[in-house]
């Protein structure tokens, strides 16, 4: 598995798209800091971007990589190798290289700007951690989609649909249902609703740091326990881990049964 990981990783390191991705984040970080002159404001803007863009790039890139390297995969399948290690290796290769672009692309401008001297370092590291989590989650989802669809066009379509659903439509439906059922106690429902969407989950995680004072304005014991203590942070991280593990398991399961 490690060998396949290494191959995919080096393959991607040489690929143009990875550099584009890296340069994009690098420029984004530079421009934001240059224009804002303020790390905490830049972190807020970055959060908005990361939450939307990282999943999009993760899904599209994952699907693209799978379809592009299909011949190589088929070649590997002919060798006496375990299927799980082939797909896990490829998956980890993609996810790791994407996270590395993200971490380096954003990390370098912030480091130059004096991140260690500012008190935004915790917010920033949280941002990077959630960004990496999102990369892992959405690359896994992309591999799932690609494995289930032989047709490339269909695969891309589903990938974009999944992103659209989780990034925008889910929140819309969520908001409507909250307003519709406003006469009922909703605090548990709203927390569970957040847990079921990795994008919302990472957004809440960052909110815990940035907007804690607003979140505590809501009257509700469950909310208060969740946001007022470290409990919320822990539960969110555990759920994010589940969100990585579950699609990866399905990917392995699916790949074992797939007829190539």
Residues 9-48 that bind other proteins (CB under 8 A): 40-41, 44, 47-48
Classify burial at 249, counting beta carbons within 10 Å of its beta carbon; exposed 0-12, middle 13-18, buried 19 or more.
exposed
Please state the closest distance from residue 149 (CB atom) to other proteins, in A: 26
Residues 189-208 that bind other proteins (CB under 8 A): 189-191, 193-194, 200, 203-204, 206-207
Please state the closest distance from residue 40 (CB atom) to other proteins, in A: 6
* Tokens encoding 183: 């006469």
CB closer to other proteins out of 109 and 193: 193
CA distances (Å), origin 105, targets 18, 29, 114: 11, 7, 15
Candidate residues 116, 117, 153, 182; the one interacting with other proteins per rule CB under 8 A: 182
The residue range among 5-13, 76-84, 110-118, 210-218 that interacts with other proteins, by the rule CB under 8 A, is: 210-218
The residue range among 13-21, 94-102, 150-158, 166-174 that interacts with other proteins, by the rule CB under 8 A, is: 166-174
Residues 52-91 that bind other proteins (CB under 8 A): 52
Candidate residues 34, 112, 218, 253; the one interacting with other proteins per rule CB under 8 A: 218
Kindly give, in sequence order, each residue whose CB lies less than 8 Å from that of residue 7, ignoring residues fewer than 6 positions away: 89, 93
- Determine if 118 is a binding residue for other proteins (CB under 8 A): no
Candidate residues 35, 212, 238, 245; the one interacting with other proteins per rule CB under 8 A: 212
Please state the closest distance from residue 147 (CB atom) to other proteins, in A: 28
CB closer to other proteins out of 214 and 245: 214
CB closer to other proteins out of 80 and 172: 172
Which residues in this chain contact other proteins in the complex, by CB under 8 A? 40-41, 44, 47-48, 51-52, 167-169, 171-172, 174-175, 178-179, 182, 186-187, 189-191, 193-194, 200, 203-204, 206-207, 210-220, 224
């Amino acid at each position: 598995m490690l060998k396949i990981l290494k191959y995919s990783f080096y393959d991607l390191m040489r690929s143009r798209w990875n550099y584009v991705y890296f340069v994009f984040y690098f420029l984004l970080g530079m421009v934001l800091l240059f224009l804002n002159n303020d790390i905490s404001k830049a972190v807020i803007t970055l959060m908005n971007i990361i939450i939307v863009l990282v999943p999009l790039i993760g899904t599209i890139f994952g699907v693209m990589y799978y379809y592009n390297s299909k011949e190589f995969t088929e070649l590997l399948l002919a060798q006496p190798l375990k299927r799980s290690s082939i797909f896990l290796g490829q998956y980890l290769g993609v996810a790791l290289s994407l996270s590395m672009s993200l971490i380096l692309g954003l990390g370098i401008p912030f480091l130059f700007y004096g991140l260690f001297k500012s008190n935004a370092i915790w917010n920033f590291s949280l941002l990077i951690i959630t960004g990496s989590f999102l990369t892992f989650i959405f690359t896994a989802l992309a591999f799932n989609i690609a494995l289930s669809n032989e047709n490339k066009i269909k695969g891309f379509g589903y990938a974009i649909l999944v992103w659209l659903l989780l990034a925008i439509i889910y929140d819309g439906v969520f908001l409507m249902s909250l307003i519709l059922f406003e006469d009922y106690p909703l605090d548990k429902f709203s927390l569970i609703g957040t847990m079921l969407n990795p994008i919302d989950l990472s957004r809440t995680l960052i909110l815990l740091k940035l907007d804690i004072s607003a979140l505590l304005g809501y009257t509700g014991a469950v909310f208060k326990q969740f946001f007022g203590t470290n409990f919320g942070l822990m539960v969110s991280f555990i759920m994010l881990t589940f969100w990585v593990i579950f699609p990866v398991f399905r990917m392995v399961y699916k790949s074992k049964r797939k007829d190539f």
